[in-house]
Each structure stands twice: as structure tokens, then as C-alpha cells.
A and B are shown apart, each in its own frame.
Chain A
Amino acid sequence: MSEIKKKIQSVLPGGAWNPPYDTSYLPPEHSDVVIVGGGVIGLSVAYWLKRLEKPRGAIRVLVVERDHTYSQASTALSVGGIRQQFSVPENIQLSLFSVEFLRNINEYLAVVDDPPLDIQFNPSGYLLLASEKGAAVMESNVKVQRQEGAKVCLMSPEQLRNKFPWINTEGVALASYGMEYEGWFDPWCLLQGLRRKVQSMGVLFCHGEVTRFVSSSSHTETTSGEEVTLKRIHEVHVKIDRSLEYQPVECALVINAAGAWSGQIAELAGVGKGPPGTLQGTKLPVERRKRYVYLWHCPQGPGLETPFVVDASGAYFRREGLGNNYLGGCSPTEEEEPDPGNLEVDHDFFQDKVWPPLAQRVPAFETLKVRSAWAGYYDYNTFDQNGVVGPHPLVVNMYFATGFSGHGLQQAPAVGRAVAEMVLDGHFQTINLNPFHFSRFYLGEKVQEHNII
């Protein structure tokens, strides 16, 4: 009886309209922007779109995320470091803005009546070590970093021994140490803070997977007389989790922020379907790469002042908490790349590839005990290990914000703002990310980042 009463009340004017069956799990039928991927990059784009839009409430944004537990998302599994020690100036600028965003996170992401966020930032800095071969490159990198405003200092092996007596400086020719604004923080807190704020700003979330793009093509001629086929995506088919049901969402723009799975989303949209060597045939070169992180306990290990140390061999570690625990890992070489089909951890990799260089660099690490380990994905850009930001030249309403190869988390706030500026104004206003455009894959212009961890 009360059910019938509720139904009558909902139909009468003034009541909420409840259709005969519950469709609240389905995404809306129309949305201006559909963001594929609800990780830190996708949420950052959503946040800046809602923040920079004029007038307020103008843009309807939908974020499609197929795993709300974020069990495989790179954001949640990240080690959480943030640094400005890059070689490409745009990367340094992105990181500088992101760190300012994190410092003022409670002004940017404040929601009335909710407690303030504590991202647990450790301002301990990054220490990059270089051997004889890499010393000249490191010096020129530090010069670029200083020009952009990062506070980095160079240290000789002598100074290194004075400052950090637990380091064995054999083989180290030069070290660069970030004094301010570098360190590590809690990525989960940033993710949830963004989610909470973005929901309060009116962005809709959908728990589903993008399975199809419905697009239309038009043929035009370029100025030099060649025929090009421009594609425009009209609908995104979102399949609901664990069901065969899907909802076609009519959209104006699609933002590909799917991280390690961006390559698949791009293929669905028709990026790369064409003869190889042409612009139509250039695929998005972002693929999943598995990376391991190990947590170990070393009772005689380095103390509270330990920065995020990156050895010349590529192995890295940082302090975790107060109990002499350390997190670390190493990026494998191309030949040793593990199979990215699952997130199983290979413990032999630690024994063979991570422990020896770290034990050589920090003698205290010769006695350690691995407590646990996990694996996560890099959205690895096989072309030049830098992000892809901006629209695709042929699929005109698909924007990319992916391919960051391990430094996506630390650039997420700035990349979100850049993509929002591109969407709302048509060009970048604060940080110029034109070098990160998709067309560089076709033109072969690498923007190589040397300091990839």
C-alpha cells in the first residue's frame, strides 16, 4: 500500500519522477564530455573542467570508470613520489604546478562540511646519482631545472658522504638533490579528495566500461591537396559492469584518460586504422608495462633524513614510515619486461636485479628482510616515455591525457588544467604542452625524457 502511495506521490507535481524501473546505475543519455578512466588524471581533468567553465554549471561531465575499487589502477598502486628533476622543461613546469596544487590542496579541493585532506607529504627530496657517463647530462639537466625555478643542488661524492654517511659513493661522479618541493605523498588521499570535490561540483560517475564508439566520418582535402578522413565521435557505448546492458551516451568530446588501457580505447575509436606510415595508421604507442614495488625492513638502515634515492643503475628506494621500512624497486630493461597480463609479483626479480645495486649503494641494505611486494602498471609510452596531451588530428573530438610512463601522478593536477584549457579555450594558456601533441608520433619528433625511473 505504501508502495502505491509513493508511486502516486512521485507522479503528482512536486515529487521526484521515478520511472517504473530503477535506472540509477545507468549513465545519462547525454553528456557534453565523457572522460574514459576515473584515475587521478581523469578526475583532475573533470575538476578543472568544472572549475574553469563559464558560466557555472555549463558543462555536463561524465566519468566512466570500470573498476570502482581501483584494484589495478596505477594511481592507487603508485609509490607516490613527486619531483622536478626532469630533463624536459615542460615536465618541470607541470611538476612545479602540481606541487603547488598539493600544497594548497585544502583550498582547491575544499568541500563545505567535510574534513580537510591530509596527503601526508614528506618533503624529503629526491637524490639522483650519476656515474661518470651520466654526469654531463645531469649537469645540463640541473641547469634547465634551475632555470624553470626548481631548487636543485649538485653534490660531489665528498659532499654526499658528509651529508648522508650511509651512502657508498663508489662509482658516483655527481649527485643532484632536490631541496624543496620534492618528496612523496599519499596518492589514494589525492584520488579520494578529487573524487569528493568533483562529485560536489556536479560531475556524474558511471561504473561501466566503454565498449564502442559510434562516429561519423567526413572527407576533406588538406591545403596540399591530399584527402583526409576526419572522424567525429557521436556516441559512447558504456557497458555496465557484470551485465550485458549498455547505454549509448551522446557526447561532444571524449577524453582518453584510461592510463594503461589507453591504447585499447584509442583502437576502439579508430586511431591507427590505416596503412602504416600514414597519419591514419599511427597507433597510440601507449602500452601496459608491469612494475614491481617491494617493501622491506632493515633495522640498521638510513634514518629520518633519507630522500628518495635513485641510483645510476635505475634502482630506487625511499623511506616508508618511522619503523626502518623502505619501499623500492627498479625498472627492468626492455628484454626483461614481465608479462603485463596480471599483477603477480616476481620475487626473484628483487633478488637478482633490485637488491644487488641497492646493497652496493647502501651497505646497510645487505641485511634486509622483504616484508611484502606489489605490482602496478605504467602507461608506458614506447615512443619517448612522455605524456600525450591534446586532441587527435583526425579523430577530432578525442583528447588524450595519457602515456606518462610512471610520472603521471605527479603531473596530474597540471595536466588536468592543461586539458581543460584546451577543451574550453582551444589552446594552452598556462603551460604550453604543444610538444606533447599526438602528431609527434607520425612526424617522428621525439621529446625524450632522460630521467625516467
Chain B
Amino acid sequence: MAAPRAPLHLVMPVWNRGTRGIRGLSRAVALEGSQKKGRSLLQFLADRFYDVQALREYLLQKQVLKVHQKNRPFTYIKERFGPHAAGAYFILKQGGAVKFQGKEWIRSDAHGHFSLDFLKFQAVPVEAVNASGCAINYQGLDSLLALKELRSLWLQRCPHVDDWCLGRLHPLANSLQELSLAGCPRISERGLASLHHLQNLRRLDISDLHAVSNPGLTRILVEEMLPSCQVLGADWAQGLPSGPDEQSQDKASPIPA
């Protein structure tokens, strides 16, 4: 088996390829790989034997459970040491970095160990969280939302952060000043629309969001939505054709037809 999710993305004739226009609002889901070549032995067997199919479903379930396990809440630490310590513990366990107010950045080392000194900072709030690349998902955000004085949050390249998670960030509206969502594969312009609650936001990084359909237009709309915020990434010029040869194939025109 290749990468964990790859076999399960394999192609079958996708038939939610609805009509374009008002009723067929769903886009054709991108086909990964080709139908004819390279079907591995496991897929071949899964088509013919119920046992193998059940095995693959079980493996898929296990992956999902692994992510859930990583995002479980640490209620004991929360009750004993307070929400800030619990949030910090959660992020450090996932492999991220935490900065308390007035202290240095704390990060776990290569083996995933970190010192538990921060449990002594009872009332010191967490100021910045760097959760880049962590497997944080909707459930895991519970721990982050308790950090009422969080100033900057970096969620670069988090594979499970999606539009639903963005809709959940509004409790941090009073304090959050910097948010980075660069490179998250599941965030689209629909989730960005729910960022208007974060009125104190001063820096927003939305570069490299592949699920956003129209990056240039999205950036303009987000800038209009958050007037006092500096928006980075999703440069409007990057969607435009580069030379006269490509004028006829202009796919990224921001003006609606």
C-alpha cells in the first residue's frame, strides 16, 4: 500500500458530476490517478472478495480513529492546572510550539518529549501557538478555544483543518491578531467567509490554499471583509494569464460571466 490515504482515493466513475449551473452546484470531484493503469493487488482483491473490502474499510476506520485519538481533550490537566496549561500540553503533544506571555517558545524535541515546567505557570496566559503541520481537527480546537488571550495562531499545512474549524474560531475574536492558514489543503473561500468575526485580526496569511477556487478574487473579498487586516498570499496577479498566447485560455478571470 502506498501513502495511507492514496488507495482510498482511487478512481471509480464519479457520478456526482452534476450539471453546471444553479442546480448542479457540486463540482466534479477531481479524479486522482487513472482508471486503466496501476490498480494494485489490494484493490483488485477488494473488488472480488468481501473480506478484503471489509479489511480495507477497517484500515480506513483505524486511520480516522488515530486522528480522533490525537485530538482527545485532556480534562484532568484542564481541571488541575487550568485551561492555558491544558491547551499548551495539547499543542506540545501534537508536535507544535507554544509561547506563554513573557516566556520563550516551548517546543517538543525530535522524540516528542517536552519539559512539563509550564504546568507551574498557573495564571500565565498563552500568547502564541504554532500548530503547523499538526493533526489538529475540529474536536482538537476545543483545547485551543479555551485560550482566551491568544494573540497569534499558526495553522500552516494542517491537513485536517477545514471550513468547519474556521467557523469555530469566533470565541477568539477579542484577542486574536495574527492567523496563518497557509497551505491547508481543506480550506476554501467558504470557510474564509466566517473569519469576519475576528475583528481584531491584523495579519492573515492565506497563501497556498489549493481548495480555494479563485484565489485573487477571494483575497479581494477578504480584504473588503476585514478592512483593518493585512492579508498575505493569494496574490490576485498570480491567477491572470502571463502572456498574449494564453489570453484565449483565461480560466481565472475574476469578473463573473
- Which residues of A are at the interface with B, using a C-beta cutoff of 8 A? 76-77, 80, 103, 107, 110, 112-125, 179-181, 183, 186, 188-189, 192-193, 196, 295, 297, 303-305, 319, 321-325, 372, 374
Contacts and interface: CB of A to CB of B under 8 A. Distances in A.
Contact of B32 (A115, A192, A304): A115
Contacts of A305: 193-194, 196, 225
Contacts of B217: 322-323
B116 interface: no
8 A-B pairs closest in CB distance:
A323-B256, A123-B167, A192-B16, A305-B196, A189-B26, A122-B190, A304-B221, A115-B29
Given A186-B26, A304-B189, A304-B193, A322 B221 contact: yes
Nearest to A325: B256
Contact of B138 (A103, A297, A319): A103
Nearest to A151: B170
A120 B196 CA distance: 19
A188 B64 contact: no
Interface stretch (B52-60, B69-77, B96-104, B121-129): B52-60
B22 A372 contact: yes
Contacts of B175: none
B26 A113 contact: no
Contact of A304 (B29, B197, B222): B222
B169 to A, nearest CB: 10
Nearest to B213: A322
B23 interface: yes
A322 B216 CA distance: 11
A304 B224 contact: yes
A137 to B, nearest CB: 26
B30 interface: yes
Given A123-B194, A180-B167, A374-B22, A297 B16 contact: no
B60 A112 contact: yes
A118 B166 contact: no
Given A103-B138, A122-B193, A123-B190, A192 B256 contact: no
B164 interface: yes
Nearest to B18: A188
Given A112-B57, A322-B189, A186 B25 contact: yes
Contact of B25 (A113, A183, A188): A188
Contacts of A295: 22
Given A107-B64, A112-B53, A304-B193, A322 B218 contact: yes
Interface string B156-167: 000000011011
Nearest to B192: A304
Contact of A118 (B11, B29, B191, B194): B29
A189 B222 CA distance: 27
Contacts of A374: 22-23
B210 interface: no
Nearest to B7: A113
A392 to B, nearest CB: 34
A186 B26 CA distance: 6
B8 interface: yes
A107 B62 CA distance: 11
Contact of B163 (A123, A188, A325): A123
Interface in B9-68: 9-12, 14-16, 18, 22-27, 29-32, 43, 46, 53, 56-57, 60, 64
Contacts of B57: 110, 112
Interface string B79-117: 000000000000000000000000000000000000000
A112 B16 contact: no
B23 A303 contact: no
Contact of B26 (A112, A183, A192): A192
Contacts of A123: 163-164, 166-167, 190-191, 193-194
B67 to A, nearest CB: 10
B170 A180 contact: yes
B148 interface: no
Q: Which of A117, A188, A324 has the most chain B CB within a 10 Å cutoff?
A: A188
5 contacts: A110-B8, A112-B57, A114-B12, A123-B191, A186-B25
Given A188-B18, A295-B22, A374-B23, A121 B163 contact: yes
B107 to A, nearest CB: 31
A372 B7 CA distance: 42
B214 interface: yes
Contact of A303 (B194, B213, B221): B221
A85 to B, nearest CB: 16
Interface in B189-205: 189-194, 196-197
Given A122-B190, A123-B191, A188 B24 contact: yes
B26 A118 contact: yes
A188 B22 contact: no
A303 B220 CA distance: 10
Nearest to B53: A112
B168 interface: yes
